[in-house]
Amino acid sequence: MPTNPVLVVHGGAWAIPDDMVEAHLRGVRNALAAGWRVLEHGGPSLDAVEESVAVMEDDETFDAGRGSFLNRDGRVQMDALIMDGATLRAGGVGCVERIANPVRAARKILSESPHVYFVGEGAEKFAAEHGIRLCRNEDLVIPREVERLREYQSHLEEHRADLFAPTISHDTVGAVALDRDGNIAAATSTGGTLNKAPGRLGDSSLIGCGCYANNESAAASTTGWGEPIMKLVLAKWAADRVEAGNLPEWVAKEAMNYLKQRVNGHGGMILLDSEGHFGIAHNTPRMAWAFRSLESQEAGIDRNR
């Protein structure tokens, strides 16, 4: 009996300003459509999450690919991970600067390397050797982000005090999917946090922190302030609770409570098990999300109401 496919995507959790809501909704809907095209034709969940995430990397609305936040030196530096719940194979890249779609490089690592994780120039070299065209870092920088960094750096002290300020956005993108064969997968891609120190790596591309997939437990993708999420290994924390018999919907909410209570962290999570149960939760004012199954399809910027 084939399984009914399910796809859930997110485009970051933060105080998304009203004038950016439409762009976020459009972005997650486009990502959903791309991943769903794979799943409805019986394609693997791994391909579906790759396609969904690549669409959001191409969309300047999000902090991934072109349009990513700039680091302290004004450069784009990106991290991504993709993981296959059937085999536990994973591919990750960290601190890459010349790859427009880091998720595609991560996928190449998963499929074509005995290694799991590449960083910096080594990751770019691997990508180029496996058919991924390298770009210039300037190609990924857009005027909006140059201005955002300038504004942020000129008000550093004020920003430190208010992590939910509209300028402190968390626009990382991610997807989790279940395919007709009953396999789940997850992918997460990010430009990291605004004004980060060069070489800083967040949760997004670390296995079990910002991304995880195991058919025996769950597939998860997180977004938000990466350092607290890393400390709790939050994606794996959530997957373990699903494996113990809890519903993803409940676990995702619990993960957000745990993040807040234990390390005063904020963010959001999408979580999906291999029976198609899923959860979407955030402890930020808003989070861009969308899901699709055979029965229904929905997108929103608030899951708490």
Closer to ligand ASP by Cβ: residue 228 or 248: 228
Q: Out of 61, 167, 172, 222, which one is annotated catalytic?
A: 172
Angstrom distance (rounded) from CA 274 to CA 303 = 22
Asked if 286 is part of the footprint of ligand ASP (rule: CB under 6 A), the reply reads no
The DSSP element (H or E) to which 271 belongs, if any, is: strand 267-272
* Binding to ligand ASP, residues 62-101 (CB under 6 A): 63
Q: How many residues bind ligand ASP (CB under 6 A)?
A: 15
Closer to ligand ASP by Cβ: residue 95 or 100: 95
Closer to ligand ASP by Cβ: residue 171 or 179: 171
* Binding to ligand ASP, residues 209-248 (CB under 6 A): 210, 223-224, 226
Provide the mask over 11-30, with x wherever binding to ligand ASP is found by CB under 6 A and - wherever it is not.
Answer: -x------------------
- 172 included as an active-site residue: yes
Tell me phi and psi for residue 13, to 5 degrees.
-130, 115
Angstrom distance (rounded) from CA 248 to CA 262 = 20
- β-pairing, 117-119 vs 90-96, is parallel
Angstrom distance (rounded) from CA 161 to CA 50 = 36
Residue 148 CB coordination number (10 Å): 17
What type of residue sits at position 278? F
Provide the mask over 188-207, with x wherever binding to ligand ASP is found by CB under 6 A and - wherever it is not.
Answer: --x-xx--------xxx---
Asked if 45 is part of the footprint of ligand ASP (rule: CB under 6 A), the reply reads no
User: Cβ 201 to ligand ASP, closest distance in Å?
Assistant: 8
Residue 45 CB coordination number (10 Å): 35
Cα angle: 52, vertex 56, 59; to 5 degrees: 145
Closer to ligand ASP by Cβ: residue 71 or 101: 71
User: Cβ 102 to ligand ASP, closest distance in Å?
Assistant: 12
Give the total residue count for the chain: 305
Closer to ligand ASP by Cβ: residue 36 or 118: 118
Q: In the sheet that 267-272 helps form, which strands lie side by side, from edge to edge?
A: 211-213, 219-224, 267-272, 278-282
Residue 137's contacts (CB-CB under 8 Å, 6 or more residues apart) are 75, 76, 97, 98
* Residues making contact with ligand ASP (CB under 6 A): 12, 63, 170-172, 190, 192-193, 202-204, 210, 223-224, 226
Which amino acids are annotated catalytic? Answer: 172
